[in-house]
Amino acid sequence: RRRSMALDHPQPENCVGPQSEEAGKASACEGCPNQKVCASGAAKEEDPAVAQVAEQLASVKRKVLVLSGKGGVGKSTVASQLAFGLASRGLRVGLLDIDICGPSAPLMLGVRGEAVHSSASGWSPVWVSVPTDAQAGDGDEAEEGELGVMSIGFLLPDADDAVIWRGPRKNGLIKQFLTDVEWGSLDVLLIDTPPGTSDEHISAVQYMKRALGEHDGAVVVSTPQEASMADVRKELNFCKKTSLRVLGVVENMAPLAVPLQHVRAVDTVGVDVTARLLAAVRAADPALLNECLLETIVFPTGAGSPANAGGSTPGRYAGLAGPERMAAEFGVPFLGKLPLDPAVGRACDAGQAIAALGAHGRAAVAVRALCDRVARALFPDVGADGG
């Protein structure tokens, strides 16, 4: 069967679009690697997988891509904690890990070593039971939310095996994940992507273009420093060019916040003075040992976009900095800040929700607020529970 041809390279800034009558012929097409494909008309043909994906995901109410232009910003952490948080609200949630070369969902959701089941109808995801926020009364047990996970990590003979694949093979697996995984009815499907704007992102957006509805979109993750935001701006522009709605920007690893009693103190020559410090605090105000967090800025906060420096409205973003200002510059919501908290790392390594390590901790409160904002963006008419 004849297959359609997708564009192999990003579209130039002044691209007339592969659907245009001038595709491959306009002056802007000169020198573009996609020129021959566009001129032939092959790029206008829709891949049959687009309709298959739309049919397969017809029972999924909301679809969310978790993106970042930069690696190491905690995108998979945000995706996994969002999955736990939304499932704890009683929603039926799926997490699809399309980071082919660096799958982390099995570890972060506590199902490493599990195997997916394959049948004539497709793959069955691995399911996790998540305690809900609502506590049952009258001695009944608390209800449990449902969280399904699919990742290439389940398909590897050894979790430490390297996946060394070129683009076409990655695209083939992503298409298979989108067409062959039997999620059933879901309230939310989260898609954890690798960093950048590479094959995985282009394939996912192209395959899902019929499946994405008006309330679906992307959560974009950044850390505060300019080195991260410079790449995240590219991700936001990718969303703009592909008409992918941005649900909002998350600032991760904002301040480092550590309970005083967990800090190791040293003097200027490196001698451990932790005992002296704690004794002094205990003598002065014992309650501070349990109530006080030591906070410091690890990553310097980046400035606004160079394109918006100065200009006719210099006070437009007054008082804003870092990812919050970046979100304002792009006209998208800011979903809040998540602290750099050692408890988050422990939760991810243990495959747990951060709330399981302390519901009132600073990180747990911040994650809960993030989940509330995302739920409201996804279900604006019916509230955070997706009712």
- 26 and 154 belong to one structural domain: no
- Residue 39's pLDDT band, with cuts at 50, 70 and 90, is confident
Same domain, 350 and 217: yes
Q: When comparing pLDDT for 98 and 166, which is higher? A: 98
Does residue 191 contact residue 144 with C-beta atoms inside 8 Å? no
What was the pLDDT predicted at 11?
56
Predicted pLDDT at 168: 87
Residue 113 has pLDDT above 50, yes or no: yes
> What is the band of 386 on the pLDDT scale with cuts at 50, 70, 90?
low
Tokens of 211: 């499946």
User: Going by C-beta distance under 8 Å and a sequence separation of 6 or more, which residues neighbour residue 319?
Assistant: none
Report pLDDT for 19: 64
Residue 305 placed within a domain: no
pLDDT at 14 over 90: no
- What are the start-end ranges of the H helices in the chain? 35-40, 48-56, 75-87, 105-108, 167-180, 199-207, 226-241, 274-284, 288-291, 322-330, 342-350, 362-378
* Residue 356 within any structural domain of the chain: yes
Instruction: Return the pLDDT at 43.
Output: 58
Q: What is the DSSP letter of 40?
A: H
Judge whether 214 lies within some domain: yes
Instruction: Report yes or no on 322 lying in a domain.
Output: no
Smallest CA-to-CA distance from 15 within 197, 210, 207, 241 is with 241
Which tops the pLDDT comparison, 250 or 288?
250
pLDDT of residue 137: 42
Q: Could you give the angle at the alpha carbon of 182 between the alpha carbons of 179 and 187, nearest 5°?
A: 100
Q: How many CA atoms lie within 13 A of 88 on its CB side?
A: 20
Mean pLDDT (whole number) for 123-148: 75
* pLDDT computed for residue 290 by the predictor: 85
**How many other CB atoms are found less than 10 A from the CB of residue 119?**
8
- For the cut 90, the answer to whether the pLDDT of residue 191 exceeds it is yes
Q: Exposed (0-12), middle (13-18) or buried (19+): which is 333, by Cβ within 10 Å?
A: middle
Spell out the residues 6+ positions from residue 256 whose beta carbon is closer than 8 angstroms to its own: 295, 296, 297, 298, 339, 340, 341
Burial group, residue 199, by CB count within 10 angstroms (0-12, 13-18, 19+): buried
Average pLDDT, the chain: 86
Q: Each residue of 312-361: pLDDT tens digit?
A: 455 677 778 899 999 999 999 999 999 999 889 999 999 999 988 876 78
User: Locate tokens 């298979």: which residue?
Assistant: 176
Whether 267 is in a domain gets the answer no
The answer to whether residues 11 and 129 belong to one domain is: no
C-alpha–C-alpha distance, residues 332 and 207, integer Å: 24
Q: Is residue 73 located within the same domain as residue 139?
A: yes
Residue 41 sits in the same domain as residue 3: yes
- Supply the pLDDT for residue 51: 96
- The pLDDT score that the predictor gives to residue 208 is 97
Mean pLDDT of 206-222: 97
- Residues shown for the chain: 387
Domain presence at residue 111: yes
Regarding whether 353 and 239 lie in a shared domain, the answer is yes
Residue 185 domain flag: yes
Q: Is residue 312 assigned to a domain?
A: no
**What percentage of residues in the chain have a pLDDT greater than 70?**
87
Range of the domain at 3: 1-45
pLDDT at 310: 43
Q: How confident is the model at residue 72 (pLDDT cuts 50, 70, 90)?
A: very high
Alpha carbons 356 and 29: distance in angstroms, whole number:
54
Nearest-angstrom CA–CA distance, 379 and 186? 13
What's the mean pLDDT in 45-71?
Answer: 94
For residues 107-125, give the mean pLDDT: 91
Q: Place 7 in a pLDDT band, splitting at 50, 70 and 90.
A: very low
Entry pTM: 0.84
Residue 272's pLDDT is 97
Same domain, 174 and 91: yes
Is the pLDDT at 307 greater than 80? The verdict is: no
100 shares a domain with 3: no
Determine the average pLDDT of the residues in 154-173.
Answer: 87
Dist CA 287 CA 22 (whole Å): 72
Q: Which of 76-90, 289-303, 353-367 is most confident?
A: 76-90
Residue 24's pLDDT is 79
Q: How confident is the model at residue 201 (pLDDT cuts 50, 70, 90)?
A: very high
Give the CATH number of the domain where residue 63 resides.
3.40.50.300
What whole-number distance in Å separates Cα of residue 193 and Cα of residue 171? 13
Same domain, 9 and 79: no
Does 18 score more than 80 pLDDT?
no
Q: Residues 87, 138: one domain?
A: yes
Give the residue from 122, 111, 215 showing the smallest Cα distance to 153: 111
pLDDT for residue 26 is more than 50? yes
The total domain count for the chain is 2
The confidence score (pLDDT) of residue 29 equals 83
Report the alpha-carbon distance of residue 371 to residue 219 in Å, rounded: 11
Chain position carrying tokens 């199902």: 111
